[in-house]
């Protein structure tokens, strides 16, 4: 299945351009990423949600290179990495401890609470970096993992570090059968920094902002994942009375940036003694964490001349 309404980002403005937003709905990208790994369902869900958030945040930044969302924490899922290139190529991977995931799930069940991503991440941080190739062009944002949901955690970042009014809602659909598909989505609304005071004669900007947030929060998963609706139609349902302008869309696909030369350079920095410990059947094999591609070298190829 290839639905043109998914794996896209719609950019929009409302209220005469005072607020801007993004709507991202993912399907094939998520399923391809998940198929590259053999992760437990819980981790697949976390990857799908983190990918929607990464694409959402990347879409608000102008960059030419690589945007990375990374979590590092002490919970059962100790690390998640999602890369989003400026061309919309996405890849993701995670590190986890399956026994601890099962223990955390059992604990949650007895407390009858919803299993949200931060529960499995534990204490730690969420970082965003933008790498544009040059040495001084690395942008980094960082926030503690706090809050019940991943979107709450991301909103704290904007409140604390960027001081931009931001509302984010994330959606996840887990397949109910082995053949079923994953979907994830995110919607974001930001108040433009220069939008202040009255934007029309009758209401002030804070009232308008609060109303726009209430409307966005009313969006439900069954609408977001309705394959019949285009992003434009979804936004029209929400904001047809708010001078909606949908500006542009962007497409996403899965792609890994690994290659033999890069890996060879990394392995060549290891000492010859350590290389010896990695040799199996006369060769050193390494597997890409993102796509599972296996690369095999002879020791001679990895010794610096
Ligand atoms: Zn790879």
CATH code where residue 117 lies: 3.55.30.10
- Among 153, 155, 247, 168, which Cα is nearest to 213's? 168
Are 21 and 152 in a shared domain? yes
* Domain match, 198 and 224 both: yes
For residue 85, the model assigns a pLDDT of: 97
Q: How confident is the model at residue 198 (pLDDT cuts 50, 70, 90)?
A: very low
Residue 155 has a pLDDT of 95
Give 290 Cα–ligand 1 centroid separation in angstroms.
5
Determine, yes or no, domain membership for 2.
no
Does 230 share its domain with 250? Answer: yes
Q: Is the pLDDT of residue 197 over 50?
A: no
Closest CA to 221 of 174, 167, 173, 152: 173
Does residue 94 sit in the same domain as residue 193?
yes
Query: What interhelical angle do 98-111 and 41-58 show, nearest 10?
Result: 90
Indicate if 17 and 160 belong to the same structural domain: yes
| Residues 135 and 227 occupy one common structural domain | yes
pLDDT of 95 above 50: yes
Whether 236 is in a domain gets the answer yes
Q: Is residue 3 one of the residues assigned to a domain? A: no
Q: Which has more confidence, 151 or 192?
A: 151
> Is 284 within 8 Å of 294 (Cβ atoms)?
no
Ligand 1 centroid – CA 144 distance (Å): 29
State the Cα–Cα distance between residues 229 and 233, nearest whole angstrom: 6
Ligand 1 centroid to residue 3 C-alpha, Å: 25
C-alpha 256 to ligand 1 mean position (Å): 5
**Residue list, CB under 5 A from ion ligand 1:** 256, 258, 288, 290-291, 293
Classified as helix, coil or strand, 207 is helix
CA 119 – ligand 1 centroid, Å:
29
Q: What is the CATH number of the domain that holds 281?
A: 3.90.1280.10
The larger pLDDT score, comparing residue 283 to residue 112, is at 283
**Whether residues 196 and 92 fall in one domain:** yes
* Residues with Cβ within 8 Å of residue 289, at least 6 apart in sequence: 81, 93
> What per-residue string of b and e applies to 32-51 under the rule 16 or more CB within 10 Å gives b?
bbbebbebbebbbbbbbbbb
Cα 26 to averaged position of ligand 1 atoms, centre (Å): 20
- Expressed in angstroms and rounded, the spacing between residue 243 Cα and the centre of ligand 1 is 43
Rounded distance from Cα 169 to ligand 1 centre (Å): 30
Assigned domain for 159 exists: yes
Q: Is residue 1 part of a domain?
A: no
- Ligand 1 centre distance from Cα of residue 76 (Å): 24
Range of the domain at 280: 260-302
CA distance 180 to 165: 37
> What residue ranges in the chain does DSSP mark as E strands?
8-14, 19-26, 66-73, 77-85, 89-96, 124-131, 139-144, 166-173, 183-191, 245-251, 253-254, 284-287, 294-297
- The rounded Å distance from CA 6 to ligand 1 centre is 24
Sheet holding 8-14, edge to edge: 166-173, 183-191, 19-26, 8-14, 245-251
Q: Are residues 143 and 270 in the same domain?
A: no
What sections of 189-280 are H helices per DSSP? 205-217, 221-224, 231-239, 260-267, 272-278
Q: How far is the CA of 68 from the centre of ligand 1 (A)?
A: 15
CA of 16 relative to ligand 1 center, distance in Å: 44
Helix axes 231-239, 205-217, angle to 10 degrees: 130
267 and 250 fall within a common domain: no
pLDDT in tens, 217-264: 999 999 999 999 999 999 999 999 999 999 888 899 999 999 999 888
The count of structural domains within the chain is 2
Structure confidence at residue 140 as a pLDDT band (50, 70, 90): confident
CA atoms within 13 A on the CB side of 26: 34
Does 200 score more than 70 pLDDT?
no
- What per-residue confidence (pLDDT) applies to 138? 80
Please check whether residues 224 and 265 belong to one and the same domain: no
Query: Which residues sit opposite 66 in a β-bridge?
Result: 85, 131
Q: What is the pLDDT of residue 271?
A: 86
Asked if 202 and 268 sit in the same domain, the reply is: no
E runs forming strands in 132-202: 139-144, 166-173, 183-191
Shared domain check, 82 and 19: yes
Centre of ligand 1 from the C-alpha of residue 121, in Å: 24
What order of strands is seen across the sheet that includes strand 66-73? Answer: 139-144, 124-131, 66-73, 77-85, 89-96, 253-254
Q: How far is the CA of 264 from the centre of ligand 1 (A)?
A: 13
């Amino acid at each position: 299945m290839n639905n043109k309404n998914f794996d896209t980002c719609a950019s929009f403005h409302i209220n005469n351009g005072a607020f801007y937003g993004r709507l991202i709905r993912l399907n094939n990208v998520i399923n391809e990423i998940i198929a590259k790994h053999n992760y437990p369902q819980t981790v697949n869900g976390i990857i799908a949600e983190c990918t929607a958030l990464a694409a959402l945040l990347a879409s608000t930044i102008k960059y030419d290179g690589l945007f990375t969302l990374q979590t590092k924490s002490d919970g059962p899922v100790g690390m998640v990495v999602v890369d989003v290139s400026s061309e919309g190529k996405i890849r993701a991977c995670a590190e986890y401890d399956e026994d601890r995931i099962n223990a955390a799930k059992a604990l949650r069940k007895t407390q009858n609470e919803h299993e949200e991503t931060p529960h499995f991440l534990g204490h730690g941080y969420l970082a965003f970096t933008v790498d544009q190739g040059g040495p001084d062009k690395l942008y980094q944002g960082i926030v503690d993992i706090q809050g019940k949901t991943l979107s709450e955690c991301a909103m704290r970042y904007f409140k604390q570090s960027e001081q931009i009014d931001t509302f984010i809602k994330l959606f996840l659909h887990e397949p109910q059968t082995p053949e079923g598909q994953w979907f994830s989505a995110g919607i974001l609304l930001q108040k433009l920094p220069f939008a202040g005071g009255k934007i029309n004669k009758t209401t002030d900007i804070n009232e308008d902002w609060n109303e726009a947030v209430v409307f966005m929060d009313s969006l439900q998963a069954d609408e977001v994942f309705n394959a019949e609706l285009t992003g434009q139609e979804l936004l029209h349902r929400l904001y047809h009375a708010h001078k909606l302008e949908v500006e542009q869309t962007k497409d996403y696909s899965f792609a890994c940036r690994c290659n033999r030369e890069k890996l060879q350079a990394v392995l060549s920095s290891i000492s010859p003694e350590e290389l010896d410990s990695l040799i199996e059947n006369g060769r050193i094999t390494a597997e890409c964490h993102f796509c599972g591609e296996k690369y095999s070298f002879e020791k001679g190829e990895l010794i610096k001349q």
